[in-house]
Structure 1
Amino acid sequence: MTSPGKAVSESQVIMPQRMLPQDANPAGNVHGGVILKMIDTAGSIVAMRHCRTSVVTASIDRMDFIKPAFIGEVIIIKASVNYAGRTSMEVGVRVEAEDLITGEIRHTGSCYLTYVALDKNRQPIQVPPLLLETEDDCRRNREAKARRESRLAEKHRERASQNETRAC
């Protein structure tokens, strides 16, 4: 049985973490892989809060690293459900870096992840509908629907290309 729906605000996450020397890449900035792990952790928490079941990461779309983050700063991951389909959800993530000395907060990256809800047998299960509360929720939902259509079209093109019998 499907629930009547869940509001975006019921599953949102704001996850801060101070970056330490072990989080550095060879250039001395926060390693992109460290940020990606934090993004997936926050995203999965949001998805599980929305559906109250296990989830699996199905895809990560367009991770844009806009500005570097530095050791000693606090990385703030903000995540929320943008779209809920039948068994999957798109979670939008914004990454910010805060300089604790100056108080400056910079937008350092953004991405979108798709999670699939799983039942106890690790099979896809229906997720609750998404209840949109604000104009921002509605905008993010519209944009997520457009991204979903683009992802599906791209998958279709890739499968068609793989099925072509002509050689390169």
Structure 2
Amino acid sequence: MNKKKARESRIINTDQVMSLDLNNYNTLFGGVLMRKLDNNATLSARRHARVKECVTASTDSIDFLHPIHQTDSVCIESFVSYTGKSSMEIFCKVIAEDMITGERRIAATAFLTFVALGEDKKPVDVPQVIPETEEEKFLYDTAKERAEVRKLRRMKSKELAAVISLDKPWDLKEEVYA
């Protein structure tokens, strides 16, 4: 299987914060940022795998480190930090820049996992990733630990799904709540 450098999957997208993107605290809605992260990560995955479709398998975490204000620009950088057989871990960092002062800060970080799909909608093998920078090497070297945590979390989610109800609360008998 061929190999690709992490930088070959790098996607950088900078946008301004619009008033419609703000919550009642006048900071960027978390959901708006999540949509932007998923979009960026999808493009990194597709660029790495060179397939028509990549699907989100998981969002490990989105850690909101600093609020993003309307006076900020939002720069999202994503790239493939590790690969499995058909899966790709995508690292995303969010840099907020105050457009008045020029101050830049890491506003958020995130890890998402994508699976590359072939024309038949089945997973296909992806190239391995080659880290080059100190940041890329750190993420690569720590990826197996995140993969183990991800695997355990997925197992626990399946256990939970097996016991939670599909019943509509309004259809339950009163004795359930007694």
The verdict on a shared fold, with TM-score over 0.5 as the criterion, is: yes
Post-superposition CA distance 1:121-152 (Å, at most 9, x none) = 22111111112223332221121111001111
- Structure 1 vs Structure 2: percent identity of aligned residues? 33
What is the RMSD of the two structures over their aligned residues, measured on CA atoms? 1.7
Q: Is the 8 A contact 1:83 1:91 kept in 2?
A: yes
Pair 27,162 (structure 1): closer, same or farther in 2 beyond 3 Å: closer
Q: Secondary structure at the match of 1:44?
A: helix
Among 41, 44, 63, the alignment partner of 1:43 is 41
The answer for the alignment partner of 2:173 in structure 1 is none
Q: Could you report, residue by residue, the CA deviation over 1:15-41 in whole angstroms, capped at 9, with x for unpaired residues?
A: 100011111112211111111111111
| Equivalent-residue separation in structure 2 for 1:77 and 1:138 (angstroms) | 20
Distance in structure 2 (CA, Å) of the matches to 1:15 and 1:150: 29
Normalising by structure 1, what TM-score?
0.89
TM-score by length of 2: 0.84
Distance 1:135 1:28, change over 3 A: closer
User: 1 CA distance for matches of 2:107 and 2:134?
Assistant: 24
Distance 1:67 1:115 in 2: 26
Deviation beyond 4 Å, 4+ runs, structure 1 = 157-164
Q: Distance in 2 between matches of 1:51 and 1:87?
A: 9
Structure 1: runs of 5 or more not aligned: none
Question: What does residue 176 of structure 2 align with?
Answer: none
Q: What does residue range 30-109 of structure 1 map to in structure 2 within 5 Å?
A: 30-53=28-51, 54-109=53-108
Report whether the alignment pairs 1:152 with 2:163. no
AA aligned opposite 2:10: Q
Report the structure number with the largest CA radius of gyration.
2
